[in-house]
Amino acid sequence: MKILCGVKRVEDPDQKIKVNPDGSWIALDGINYKPNPYDEIAVEEALRLKEAHGSGEVVVVSIGGEESVTEMRHAMAMGADRGILVKVSERVDSDAAARLLAKVVEREKPDLVILGRQAVDSDQGQTGQLLAEYLGWGQATFAAKFESLESEEEKAKKPGLQVQDGKVRVIREIDGGLEVLDVELPAVVTTELRLNHPRYASLPGIMKAKKKPVEELTPADLGVDVTPKVKIRKLSSPPERKAGIKVPDVATLVEKLRNEAKVI
């Protein structure tokens, strides 16, 4: 079973992101980077499927600058077999990412593509669906599982996706509950937070990852025009919510809610 995962380099979601004074981009001073959290979940799931099936290959793809190799090395330290860097000089939008990935998929012919439900920088949440459409494949977005992340199944590192008889069974977190779909392979799946807890990279894993191959491609190699369909004109900070007051006790709180805020 061959699985391809997207790994995007993004700003660490645990730090505060601020806009540059001129609104051209975010302030990059002192910013740390990480693999997109949903992509780590994708890689973890791919590794579990490979382990459960006893064989296979997990290939990670990143579209970005040379520095994106760091995030791919992280995925390879977790256990992914090799990387493909599609080298771009400027950020690409989700549509261009999907068209580049489609070309990589045509070359690599994986059985399954697992992407994140969204990249936590642009928060668009489109690439997997676009990719599935460009490939003419079925899709299942927001993959999760019935069991919680504290369950025995999760502790046993069981995959949430079930691959059988040329199909992948996916439990999806959607509005109002959980939906189960069977998608014929090859297919595109995107991950939700509750699909798994990604493993940590072990020291031997990190050492091994340094020797794993990373192929470099360009949009020109793939014949893809990456001119964005969605252009960012400017960035601004959202209106700040002012801190209110601390109340000393419940009686004051109720009094304020009744007479000042008038919400109860």
Partner 1 sequence: MSNVLLVAEHLNQSLKKSSLHALEAARQIASRSGGKVFGLVVGKGVGEVANELARHGVEVLVADDARVEHPLAEAWSKVVEKAAKEVSATYVVAASGSQSKDVLPRVAARLGAGMASDVIGFGGEGAEITFKRPMWAGSVIAEVEITTPVKVLTVRPTDFSAAQPGEAGQVRSLELPDLGTIRTHFVEFRQVKSERPPLTEARIVVSGGRGTRGDFSPVEALADQLGAAVGATRAAVDAGWVPNDLQVGQTGKTVAPDLYIALGISGAIQHVAGMKGSKVIVAINKDPDAPIFQIADYGLVGDLFQVVPELQKALTGK
Ligand X SMILES: Cc1cc2nc3c(=O)[nH]c(=O)nc-3n(C[C@H](O)[C@H](O)[C@H](O)COP(=O)(O)OP(=O)(O)OC[C@H]3O[C@@H](n4cnc5c(N)ncnc54)[C@H](O)[C@@H]3O)c2cc1C
Among positions 60-119, residues that touch ligand AMP (CB under 6 A) are 61-64, 94, 97, 115-116, 118-119
Q: Could you tell me the smallest distance in angstroms from the CB atom of residue 130 to ligand AMP?
A: 7
Backbone phi, psi, residue 215, to 5°: -90, 140
Beta strands 2-6; 82-87: pairing state? unpaired
Tell me if 35 contacts ligand X by CB under 6 A.
no
Q: By C-beta, is 2 or 117 nearer to ligand X? A: 117
By DSSP bridging, strand 57-64 and strand 9-11 are unpaired
- Map the footprint of ligand AMP across residues 6-45, applying CB under 6 A: 6-8, 36, 38-39
d(CA 217, CA 28): 26
Tell me the residue type at 157: K
- Site for ligand X (CB under 6 A): which residue of 37, 79, 83, 159? 37
Is 138 a binding residue for ligand X by CB under 6 A? The answer is no
Angle, CA 217 vertex, CA 212 and CA 221 arms, to 5°: 150
Chain position carrying tokens 């998608």: 183
Peptide bond into 186 cis (omega under 30): yes
Residues 6+ positions from 223 with CB-CB distance below 8 Å: 103
**What distance in Å separates the CA atoms of residue 57 and residue 117, rounded to the nearest whole number?**
22
CB 120, CB 108: distance < 8 Å:
no
Closest separation in Å from C-beta 38 to ligand AMP: 5
Distances (CA, A) of 256 to 5, 241, 245: 52, 19, 10
Per-position b or e across 134-158, b if 16+ CB within 10 A of its CB: bbebbbbbbbbbeeeeeeeebeeee
Answer yes or no whether residue 13 interacts with ligand X by CB under 6 A.
yes
The least distance separating partner 1 from the CB of residue 180, rounded to whole angstroms, comes to 4
Which of ligand AMP, ligand X, partner 1, none has residue 30 at its interface (CB below 5 to 8 Å by kind)?
none
Residue among 116 and 138 whose Cβ is closer to ligand X: 116
**CB-nearer residue toward ligand AMP: 117 or 145:** 117
CB closer to ligand AMP out of 86 and 171: 86
Of 126 and 214, CB closest to partner 1: 126
Q: Least distance from C-beta 212 to ligand AMP, angstroms?
A: 17
**Which partner, ligand X, ligand AMP, partner 1, none, binds residue 62 by CB below 5 to 8 Å per kind?**
ligand AMP
Q: Determine the residue with CB nearest ligand X.
A: 37
For ligand AMP, which residue of 1, 11, 126, 218 counts as binding (CB under 6 A)?
126
64 binds, among partner 1, ligand X, ligand AMP, none (CB under 5 to 8 A by kind): ligand AMP
Near ligand X in 63-122, by CB under 6 A: 120
Q: Are 103 and 223 in contact (CB under 8 A)?
A: yes
Q: Which residues bind ligand X (CB under 6 A)?
A: 13, 37, 120
